[in-house]
Structure 1
């Protein structure tokens, strides 16, 4: 299991935003946990220095292209990139240094997953460099993928059948537990357990982490097959968990 670092970008700045509060309406500001004075490049250089791999840069809306490019240039091959990525732009981001492209909303035609778009993406980027973002919310007791900045429910249920099916199209899954994302109330135990039990490919979970112990909790619930991203709770993003302690945890994990 690994700790996966993140760089979330909003209007060109590194931010931590409460999941589900980001809207398409320009007059509606999201709830922000943290806005950094440091650049995306700074965080990418830090992750590179500390040997953290498999992290992601997420562009939350427009105005983030320059910052994303700077982060990738600072850590070529060390970061994935997502947010508005399509088959038409995937190759460009890979050429700019992204290890993988992360795609969600573009793959849907209304509430339905478009197989033709999925095939097109894989043809352009290659399965080994595609990450499918299955970030989801709970409805009627089941998890469903949400798109359009986590505002819109799709018809795609996150369950064993979906994970086994889509695992043949990608190298990894990225799954935000949107109902707890940015809240620091603890991880979504049921979702992590589902991912650990059912995902045929590596999967990174994000959402709700509140303490260093959540790394061990995800390791146990996810059977060592689910990695964890910590955002708002990390001290480098204004939280209480020392980044140095996370690095130490990872070093112990690597040595075990």
Structure 2
């Protein structure tokens, strides 16, 4: 069954929901759907108390180190961490309490050319069970192309079942943002979810466009329950109106195996 995976997106030290395609190094700042009054630790504690396993903290650019550490301190061993992670700092984030680290841009030389050697180096240093590979992408005429540098730079790597199969031995999970629909609350990328579900070689979390519980159910249907989903801007916890937080928490609880009285 598809599970809801919570997210804490950090931008300039604050928990935000933004339109993914508007992240730029130049020009005006990103379009913000929501800026939280509460700090990152508040959200981490809430997710912990509600048993929402497998969530992630994403640092979108500079100025997020303190907020990221606050979230990890609030739930040691409970959250993945991504954004600016490389061979030099991955182990440090695990020491700070990250459950796993998420890596994208560093796996690409010059931000463009994918390096299988870098994947192997990182997996050897921290263990494949601690590595989540982020293959967030944009749709092109040639297929889904992995985008780095806060989804600004198109790389030479195509997201496909073959790519996932090649990388699977070196990681525990994959995280896939559909950057073209991220933050728009206009519906999921159905074809991408179908492709990810058909592969089913490692746990995969999809993010992008979920606007309602119908979209959560659609991810479950299209992927055969093999792909988990993140809901951001549509969630009332983040100022949205499409998905109630208590409803999606209950969705996860319904998918949990029933406890056996003999286990107590």
1:63 and 1:183 map into 2 onto residues whose CA distance is 25
Partner of residue 172, structure 1 = 173
Partner of residue 212, structure 2 = 211
1:194 and 1:37 map into 2 onto residues whose CA distance is 37
Report 1:129-168 matches (<5 A).
129-168=130-169
Q: Shift in Å at residue 23 of structure 1?
A: 1.1
Partner of residue 30, structure 2 = 30
Residue aligned with 1:3, SS: coil
Residue aligned with 1:180, SS: coil
Q: Shift in Å at residue 116 of structure 1?
A: 2.2
Partner of residue 88, structure 2 = 88
Q: Shift in Å at residue 223 of structure 1?
A: 1.1
1:95 and 1:24 map into 2 onto residues whose CA distance is 30
1:253 corresponds to 2:255: yes
Q: Shift in Å at residue 141 of structure 1?
A: 4.5
8 Å CA contact 1:172–1:201 kept in 2: the answer is yes
2:29 and 2:225 map into 1 onto residues whose CA distance is 37
Q: Which runs of 4+ in 1 moved over 6 A?
A: none
Partner of residue 104, structure 2 = 104
Q: TM-score, normalised by structure 1?
A: 0.97
2:244 and 2:175 map into 1 onto residues whose CA distance is 24
Residue aligned with 2:10, SS: strand
Residue aligned with 1:249, SS: helix
Q: TM-score, normalised by structure 2?
A: 0.94
8 Å CA contact 1:160–1:199 kept in 2: the answer is no
Unaligned residue ranges in structure 1 (runs of 5+): none
1:115 and 1:249 map into 2 onto residues whose CA distance is 37
Partner of residue 244, structure 1 = 246
Residue aligned with 2:20, SS: coil
Q: Shift in Å at residue 255 of structure 1?
A: 4.4
Residue aligned with 2:88, SS: helix
Residue aligned with 2:106, SS: helix
8 Å CA contact 1:144–1:155 kept in 2: the answer is yes
Residue aligned with 2:71, SS: helix
8 Å CA contact 1:167–1:199 kept in 2: the answer is no
1:9 and 1:160 map into 2 onto residues whose CA distance is 30
Partner of residue 53, structure 1 = 53
Partner of residue 261, structure 2 = none
1:199 and 1:182 map into 2 onto residues whose CA distance is 25
2:219 and 2:74 map into 1 onto residues whose CA distance is 29
Report Cα offsets for 1:88-131 as digits up to 9, x if no partner.
Answer: 10000001110100000011013211122212211221100100
Residue aligned with 1:254, SS: coil
Deviates more, 1:99-108 or 1:139-148: 139-148
Partner of residue 116, structure 1 = 117
Q: Shift in Å at residue 222 of structure 1?
A: 0.9
